[in-house]
Amino acid sequence: MADGLLQPAWIAASDGTVQYCNQAWFDFCGAVHEEDINQIWLRSTHPDDHPRYGADSMPGQAGEQVVRCWHFASRGWYRLHGRQMPVRGGSGETLHWFFIAHEAAMMGDTPQRDAELESRAHELAAVNHYLVNALREREAALAQFEQHTAHLGAVIATQAQLAQAELDLDEFMRIVVQRMIELTPATGAVVELADGDEMVYRAVSGVVAPYLGLRLARVGSLSGLCVQLGEILESADTMLDARVDQEACRKINALSMVVTPLFHAGIPVGVLKILADRPYAFTPAHTHTLQLMAGLIGSAIGHQLSFETKQMLLEERTAALNALESEVARRRASEERTRLIIESSGEAFMSMDLDGLITDWNQQAEQTFGWRRDEVLGRPLYDVLVPAGKRDDYAAALAGFLQAVEGQALSQRLELVGQTLGRGEIPIEMSITAIRSGNSFLFSAFLRDISERKREEERLRHLADHDVLTGLPNRRALTGALEQALARANRMQREAAVMFLDLDGFKAINDTHGHEAGDVLLRQFAARIIASVRQNDLVCRLGGDEFVVLLEGLTDGRQDAARVAEQIVARMADEIALPECAVRVTTSLGIALYLPHSGMSADALLGSADEALYVAKRAGKNRYAIAGGAGKD
């Protein structure tokens, strides 16, 4: 800042050693820059003034000072009239002395010249006064920012401590509510978890400490409404707020409160609440701290129940640190602590700017997607993670996301397909947060490979629709498939047929040779049915020894179904090897035909096939019967 001044100026240490001279001083004295600035200064000032400066002397009191300096241009000594000011630290100690000249008079000048210089001195004094005030304002702003940074550092330190500690859920929540008392003006803090129609006090501190385990109705309370809406709620004055339980508030002198939801698997399961004994006690900064700590508890709940729900904590922490980074470079130390937590979180993390260019990429992201950090920084997100065929959809989704932000923080959880460097496409879950910073946005996202979860979901869906013993579709799958088959028959003007079949004498074999032999027999029966039908025909096991075959796209339903039935009956003539013996088993079949637009329902068609099966049984078994016709061997 001093290099921009037109007047000579210098800065001395508290002991008087000159540490800096601005360019105007060098120009005035004609001195040359050297390593020891104090020696340069002493050579360019009058020897009589040396006792007041130097390593073993003090520069005197603040105020107007006169220093005689050599003037290079006129080759003579000049008096530099100026103001000397102390620069003090936070505890009032003198850190530096700052001198700025406001007039220069050649020794022996006339009174008229002195008057002119005095006028200029007043002008320079005004400038000096402005600079002093600017320095004080800067010091005040720095002090305020350092206070904010210290507060945020305390929050992050708590988060890091809890993230690394091996605590059970109750102890974890107890520490969080205690820290909320220390970090905010709250007189009480509580974690409430939803249990049916009630909210249960699971962790308490401050004035609510005696109420651990208390149960309150969800309806009629701010906590219950918070769980219902899944969003943060504030009551600045509870006595004027119809949403709160005012009787309970009076009991604990809660005149203001803020509640934020706790999420598990994306579903609100409880709240973290702070309350105070005066209205309007909480600021947005306190609310933000509450959200950060709520994210910690959500993560702990997820860990306790083996679910991945830590993204809220990390999203909030990342958002806070990104906002801090945009304000001042001093956030670097806090950012390093956050980097350590992100790297140890076990989840892939990335951030990007408004143009969609990647600005951060952690080690887990490298492992999940295959690209190193130096390979992706500065590249568009869609170029790294989005499959080529889905990039237009991504661009549209990002534009909609930006439009939805509308100047405030917004978080979303998305399931989408991402591309990797070596494993092709994988399903991922992305939790993304956007925060407006001035005229731009900051984005951070946690990404999880959910391939295993998707496989497990598919396995469960398969189990719901398939028979465990034979692997065939079950009755549930048949119900949906039969409805769709009849609709296709109407649309394509082709006949369909349903075959209902079972084993003749299965119970006797099961009772004689045991259930293990019976299971082997059923699997062999299923295999022979499958071998007798087309690849696109549906074979289902309803239970026991009852099976159903659905035939579609038939030109002559009666003739086509009869041919398949004859093949099944014929295949059952061969022996079936059981664990301890071989048996011969026959089968009986009932066939029901569906004609396009006949109006017969799926249930009616299946019932007709069942009745035809019993016709075949009564006719002697080992044969088939067509509904409305005679049985055949």
Give the residue numbers annotated as catalytic, written as ranges: 545
- HSE (CB half, 13 Å, CA atoms) of 439? 0
Nearest-angstrom CA–CA distance, 148 and 583: 84
Gyration radius of the chain's alpha carbons: 42
Identity at 421, one-letter amino acid code:
L
Number of Cβ within a 10 Å radius of residue 38: 19
Nearest-angstrom CA–CA distance, 181 and 193: 19
Indicate the pairing of strand 215-217 with strand 198-206: antiparallel
CB 353 within 8 A of CB 379: no
Q: Quick one: 424 exposed, middle or buried, by C-beta within 10 A (0-12, 13-18, 19+)?
A: exposed
E strands, 4-158, in order: 9-13, 18-21, 63-71, 76-88, 94-106
Both tokens of residue 170?
């109750």
Strand partners, 612: none
Distance of CA 539 to the CA centre of its chain: 45
Sign of the torsion angle spanned by Cα atoms 253, 258, 263, 269: positive
Place of tokens 């460097």: 421
Strand partners, 69: 45, 78
E strands, 353-439, in order: 358-361, 410-419, 425-437
Nearest-angstrom CA–CA distance, 245 and 224: 10
Order of strands across the sheet with 425-437? 358-361, 348-352, 440-449, 425-437, 410-419
Nearest-angstrom CA–CA distance, 132 and 84: 11
